[in-house]
Each structure stands twice: as C-alpha cells, then as structure tokens.
Amino acid sequence: MANLFDWVNERAPNLAPTFRKHMTEYYAPKNFNLWYYFGSLAILVLVNQIVTGIFLTMNYKTSALEAFNSVEYIMRDVEWGWLIRYMHSTGASLFFVVVFLHMFRGIMYGSFKRPRELVWILGMLIFLVLMAEAFMGYVLPWGNMSFWGAKVIISLFGTIPYIGPGLVEWIMGDFLPADATLNRFFALHVIALPLVLLLLVVLHLAALHEVGSNNPDGVDVKHGPKGNRWDASKPLDAIPFHPYYTVKDLVGVGFFLLIAAFIIFFAPTFGGWFLEHDNFTPANNLVTPTHIKPSWYFTPFYAILRMIPSFFGTAIWGVIGMFGSILMLALLPWLDRGEVRSVRFRGMGYRIALAVLVISFLSLGAVGAGVTAELIPEWFPGADATTLENAFGRIMTLAYFGFFIFIWVYTHFGLEKTKPVPERVTMHD
Ligand code: HEM
C-alpha cells in the first residue's frame, strides 16, 4: 500500500494535499447539532439513487409499449429487482425529506448569509435540477399518474404567451405525452441531469470549503480566538472534519438507514405517498385519474399554482406564483439583510415569521395533496368544500409570500431587535 501511495504521489503530488485540505485539515465549528446531518445524508441518498438507478436501467425498457411491463418484470422476476426499485423510489422521497430539512437548517441558522450566498445559490440550483430529475423519473414507469402528471406539468408551459403551445409540443415531441416524451425523459433522467447534479454538488461543497461552515450559533469561528489543539493557527472553536465529523455523520447514517430499511421492507408505498396507487395502472390517455396530483414533495408548489386564479384570460399567474415561490427562496440572501445569522439571537418577529413559513408550507402541501379536500367535508359538513379549501389555500399562499415580504421590510428598515451574539460558540466542552 505504501509503495502504491508513493507511486501515485510521485505522479499526482497535489492529490493527497487536496484530500487533506478537505478532510483532516478542514476545520469545522465544534458545535454542529442534529441539523448538520442532512448534508452528508443528501450525499448518501444521491449515491443510492445513482447506484440503484444503474441496476434499474439494466432491465427497464424505454418504450411506451414496454415501460410499464418492464417495471412489473423488475418487481416480480428480476432477482432482487423489487429491492432495487423500492430503494430507488423510497430514496427519491427521502431525498426530498433530507433536502427540505437541510434547506430549513440553512434558513434557521442564516447559513445563506454573507459569505455563503454562493453556497446557497448553488444549493437552489441543485434543488431545481433535483425537482426536474424527480419529475422525469416519475414519468418513466409509464403508469397512469406518470402520463397525466407529465401532461399537466408540461402543459403549464402552454400558458406562456405566443410561444407556449409550440413549446409544449416541442417538449413532448408529440401532441400528448408519448413514446418520444418517454425516450427524451429517460435520456435526461439517466444521464444528463445526474451529471449536472453531481457537478453542482461538487461546486456546492467547494464553495462551502472556501468560506467554511456556519453553525447553530451563527458565530464566525474564523474571527474568534485561535490556538486550536491540533493546529495552533486554526480557530479554537473548530475541530478537524476527519475523524470527528466523519464519525459523527456515521451515527446519522446509521439512524437514517434504519428508517429507510423500515420503509423499504415494511411500507414501500408509504400508504400511497411514496408510490401512488394510480401509478399501478398503465398509462391511458382516455382515462383521467380521479385526482391528478404530483408526488408529495411537489404539493406545496402545486397548491400555489392551483390557488392563484386565472385573470385577464390567462392562467399564467399560477405558473408565475409557483416558480416565484422557489425564486423567493433563492433571493433570501438579498431579502434578509439582518446582521444576525442564527434564529437563537434574532428578534421575536423573525421567529414568528419562520413559524408562519413552516405552517404555510406544510398547509400548502396538504392542500396540494388533496388532504384538505378530504377533511373539509368531514370537519364542516354542509359547507361548500371548494370555497373553504380555496380560502384556506389562498391565505396560506399569502402567508408563504408574506414571510419574504415581512423579512425584507423587517431587516431593511432596522425593525429587528436582536440579542447580543456571543464572541464564541455557546458550547465549550
Ligand atoms: C443533492 C443535494 C445536496 C447535497 C448533497 C448537499 C450537501 C451538502 C453538504 C455535505 C454540506 C456540508 C454539511 C452540512 O452543512 O450539512 C452542505 C452545506 C450547505 N448546503 Fe447543501 N446539499 C444539497 C442541497 C442543498 C440545497 C437544496 C440547499 C439550499 C438551497 C443547500 C444549502 C446549503 C447551505 C447553506 C450549506 C452551508 C450550511 C452551513 O454551513 O450552516 N444545500 N450541503
């Protein structure tokens, strides 16, 4: 091994120092909590999706005639095919669970603020590509919800003035989602988008390592006292990423794998949330599912789309609202100009606004998933369910956008009363 290492080192002398720079010599704040697990978990899920995806591709048939049956074949006849598929489908949902929590951590601790704006923007690009990747993957089994989901989402582009209808036909390669659509989605899902995703994740981490990690106190450990036990030139409140955080992250991986295994082995469809019932029937352009709805992770954005009514004879406002809700997140570093990063030391207004953001996001998710449509007639018998749902959904849409407007006003006009931020992280053990 030593000889091999020397051999490589002679030919690529920068490799080992680069590795060291990002592991043993990457000093991270010592006060990371549970919320800091989700970055490494996102990498784990990404790797899972790529590996299981490769094995699925070995038996999947990219054709509107064969796709559905090839997936059934994977489930029933291919050795361990069911496991590979359930790992991939569960992985897709868990990817979003992990990424939503990862993003929320960033908002909670102000990790998007200077000097980490680039880390945040790259994260938002990852999020966009991830959504495209998940949407296209969902179309591949060519179930009935695959077909109608593709129809609804691609048709959104039809609301763009002038070029809309032509654009829809161009994206589909036909007048309906069809064989051509399936083939191009396969190409994008299996190779193009994963490559982009991998590249973005590398850039995301490179950008983070340029400036260093934030932490639950939002304190700049780099500006704090030096004199680290391992390297006196490094901050006192930081520890080497390897072995300390590699070992800590492994604990998170252990818990995460337990949960994932439980879902994969005992509840792979997760009651129709991770694999929808309507997708177990083949695509049929003559039979619309009773409730067309996207996978759960798209439902908050889908609810915004549905809750904004058409006016001036066009439905484009809903589409603008939906994309706008994602754009707002990307703009956070410029909307929130508060000096203090972590929610621990921010004003009461910010804390309340953050709670409103979470409540509105979850409520919109429930509206988009049809939960409110089911519950309202039960809870308010005799009431006009559609009117009530629209009222609720619209209030929640306003609350969601309200968060961003409030934060802008609150921090631009100096209305926030923050607590004093300590010099060092609050954990000194
Ligand atoms: C494939 C998806 C993603 C992967 C693999 C990934 C990976 C990581 C990793 C490993 C870290 C360092 C560990 C940690 O702080 O948890 C990190 C940090 C960070 N990520 Fe991501 N990330 C992903 C998506 C996102 C998204 C969608 C956003 C937000 C838009 C985001 C925003 C951030 C921020 C702000 C940090 C710095 C956090 C801090 O220092 O407090 N990431 N990411």
Q: Which domain, by its residues, includes 417?
A: 303-429
Q: What share of the chain is helix, strand, coil (3-state, %, to 5)?
A: 65, 5, 30
CB 185 less than 6 A from any atom of ligand 1 = no
- DSSP SS3 for 58: coil
Supply the pTM of this predicted model: 0.96
CA distance 39 to 43: 7
In the reported structure, the alpha carbon of residue 121 is separated from the centroid of ligand 1 by a whole-number distance in angstroms of 10
62 and 137 inside one domain: yes
Residue 429 has a pLDDT of: 55
Q: In total, how many domains does the chain have?
A: 2
CB 42 less than 6 A from any atom of ligand 1 = yes
What is the residue whose two structure tokens read 């691609």? 154
Domain end, chosen from 252, 267, 292, is at 292
Nearest to 134 by CA among 169, 98, 163, 108: 98
CATH code of 181's domain = 1.20.810.10
> Using only C-alpha atoms, what is the Rg of the chain?
24
Contact between 211 and 119 (Cβ < 8 Å): yes
CB 49 less than 6 A from any atom of ligand 1 = no
365 and 314 inside one domain: yes
Residue 313 has a pLDDT of: 87
341 and 271 inside one domain: no
In the reported structure, the alpha carbon of residue 248 is separated from the centroid of ligand 1 by a whole-number distance in angstroms of 17
178 and 91 inside one domain: yes
Local confidence pLDDT in tens for the 429 residues of the chain: 999 999 999 999 999 999 999 999 999 999 999 999 999 999 999 999 999 999 999 999 999 999 999 999 999 999 999 999 999 999 999 999 999 999 999 999 999 999 999 999 999 999 999 999 999 999 999 999 999 999 999 999 999 999 999 999 999 999 999 999 999 999 999 999 999 999 999 999 999 999 999 999 999 999 999 999 999 999 999 999 999 999 999 999 999 999 999 999 999 999 999 999 999 999 999 999 988 889 999 999 999 999 999 998 889 999 999 999 999 999 999 999 999 999 999 999 999 999 999 999 999 999 999 999 999 999 999 889 999 999 999 999 999 999 999 999 999 999 999 999 999 999 865
* Distance of alpha carbon 363 from the chain centroid: 18
CB 201 less than 6 A from any atom of ligand 1 = yes
198 and 240 inside one domain: yes
Q: Is residue 105 part of a domain?
A: yes
Which amino acid is located at 388 in the chain?
A: L
CA distance 294 to 283: 15
In the reported structure, the alpha carbon of residue 275 is separated from the centroid of ligand 1 by a whole-number distance in angstroms of 27
Ligand 1 atom 31: the closest Cα is on which residue? 123
- DSSP SS3 for 213: coil
Domain end, chosen from 262, 292, 322, is at 292
| Residue 126 Cα: closest atom of ligand 1 | 27
Q: Is residue 1 part of a domain?
A: no
Residue 27 has a pLDDT of: 95
Ligand 1 atom 11: the closest Cα is on which residue? 39
Q: Is residue 409 part of a domain?
A: yes
288 and 323 inside one domain: no
Residue 428 has a pLDDT of: 60
Residue 36 has a pLDDT of: 97
H or E element: which one contains 238? Answer: strand 238-240
What is the residue whose two structure tokens read 């030391």? 345
CB 111 less than 6 A from any atom of ligand 1 = yes
CB 212 less than 6 A from any atom of ligand 1 = no
Q: Is residue 10 part of a domain?
A: no
Domain end, chosen from 259, 292, 325, is at 292
CB 44 less than 6 A from any atom of ligand 1 = no
Count of other CB atoms within 10 angstroms of residue 147 = 28
335 and 288 inside one domain: no
Nearest to 81 by CA among 141, 139, 131: 141
Tokens of 231: 């390297």
309 and 288 inside one domain: no
